[in-house]
Every structure is written in C-alpha cells, then in structure tokens.
Amino acid sequence: MSRQDSDIREYFTRMDRSFYMDKDKRLARFDQAVSIGHGQTISQPSLVLAMTLALDVQPESRVLEIGTGSGFQTDLLASSSDSVYTVERIEPLHHRAKEKLTEAGFTNIYFKLGDGSLGWKAHSPYDRIMVTAAAPKVNETLLEQLKPGGKMVIPVGDSLDQELRLIEKDQLGEVTSSFLERVMFVQLIEDTV
Ligand code: SAH
C-alpha cells in the first residue's frame, strides 16, 4: 500500500459522517447510504473510500467533483489533494455543504451551483474527476476537461443498474475504461436550458 493510500485510510477512519448529516445522525456510523434530503443520499462510507482510492488522488492533484451533496466525499478528497472544484445543482445542498466544509476549516475547496454535466471549464483541465451521480454514458464534456495522464471515476448506467468505471486518459489522449464494481447512485440530472 502506498504512503498516500495509508494516509487516506487513516484520515477516513477519523472522519465523522454525522457532521455532514442533519437528521438520523445515529445512522452515520453504519456502512449504509443515508438520506440527505431532496431525494439525494450519501453513499455508504466504504464506497466513498473505495472510490477515492480508485481515483488515485495525489497530494498535488487538482480534482473536479460532480455532486457535492452533503460534502462528505468532498472532505475526503480535499484532505488528500491540492484542491477540489465541486459542483452541485441543488441550491440548499450547495449552501449547506459550503457552510459545513468551511466550518471544518477547508480553504482548498471551490464551490459552484450548477449543472455538473457541463463540468467546470474555467478551471479545467483537472488531474482527477470524481462523479457521484450516475450518467447513462461517460460524459464527453467531462472527458475533455480531464488532463492527459488524468483519471476519472464515474458510475455509468440507468437508475437500477450501474457500473462504477475507472476512466484513464494517457499522455496521447487515448482513453481506456475499466470496470470496478456494480453500484447504485442517484441519477446525474442534466438541466435543460
Ligand atoms: N458525494 C455526495 C453524495 C452525492 S449524491 C456526498 O458525499 O454526500 C449525488 C449528488 O449529485 C446529489 O447531491 C445531486 O443533487 C447531485 N447531482 C445530480 N446531478 C447533478 C448535476 N447534473 N450537476 C451537479 N450535481 C448533480
């Protein structure tokens, strides 16, 4: 196990998920998904950790996260990378996560309210992209915002059956995709304008 992986695991064991929950705080310590309101959920902690390790986040990585949600995953990413650019489309969740992560003392997280299926072009390209809502296919716009040598973790599929995939872009821009595990995330909603 690399030093970075053991640091991430060590930090993860000290995290208190209840800090990011408004209600049913007693459920925080169980390894199960919990509701954060607005029809959204925080994944089970073991999956949040597995996705972060699969993304191979490095201390110098600039990370784009789609689906801020409660901010729990953002916390783990921000503590193990250079900076996180996180996009959420539901306004109360965006505000709440910003409040909590600021209260937790983070100064390397940038928040955006909007449709994350468009990524966040102004700060692209990114070393790593974490998508925490499921899309029917790998999003081309996000792929464009990934650096050569970059990695993306994304759940792909419909509302009942999704594959968590690791997408890697090599230095020449060639993209490969590998299967990690079967998962069930809420849908990535593409806002029509
Ligand atoms: N990572 C979060 C859990 C996210 S649940 C956590 O740790 O709590 C998925 C989140 O993706 C929800 O908050 C949902 O509102 C958001 N989402 C769905 N479609 C989106 C889109 N197109 N752009 C930005 N956020 C989106």
pLDDT tens-digit profile of 81-135?
999 999 999 999 999 999 999 999 999 999 999 999 999 999 999 999 999 999 9
Distance CA 190, CA 193 (A): 9
The answer to whether residue 110 is domain-embedded is yes
**Ligand 1 centroid – CA 86 distance (Å):** 10
The answer to whether residue 188 is domain-embedded is no
Q: Looking at the predicted structure, is the pLDDT value of residue 192 above 70?
A: no
Give the rounded percent of residues in the chain with a pLDDT score beyond 90: 93
Range of the domain at 7: 3-21+32-183
Mean pLDDT of 33-57: 96
Give the rounded percent of residues in the chain with a pLDDT score beyond 70: 99
Which residues have CB under 6 Å of ligand 1? 36, 40-42, 66-67, 69-70, 72-73, 87-90, 93, 115-117, 132-133, 186, 188-190
Read off the pTM. 0.97
Ligand 1 atom with minimal separation from the 73 CA:
7
Across the chain, mean pLDDT equals 96
User: 191 vs 157, which has greater pLDDT?
Assistant: 157
Ligand 1 atom with minimal separation from the 70 CA:
8
The answer to whether residue 48 is domain-embedded is yes
Ligand 1 atom with minimal separation from the 69 CA:
13
**Ligand 1 centroid – CA 115 distance (Å):** 10
**Tally of domains in the chain:** 1
Nearest to 180 by CA among 55, 79, 77: 55
Q: What is the CATH number of the domain that holds 79?
A: 3.40.50.150
Q: Please report which confidence band the pLDDT of residue 190 belongs to, taking 50, 70 and 90 as the band edges.
A: confident
**Whose Cα sits closest to atom 16 in ligand 1?**
67
Q: Catalytic positions, please?
A: 43
The answer to whether residue 189 is domain-embedded is no
Q: Please report which confidence band the pLDDT of residue 193 belongs to, taking 50, 70 and 90 as the band edges.
A: low
**Contact (Cβ atoms closer than 8 angstroms) between residue 161 and residue 61:** no
The answer to whether residue 27 is domain-embedded is no
The answer to whether residue 66 is domain-embedded is yes
User: How remote is the C-alpha of 161 from its chain's centroid?
Assistant: 19
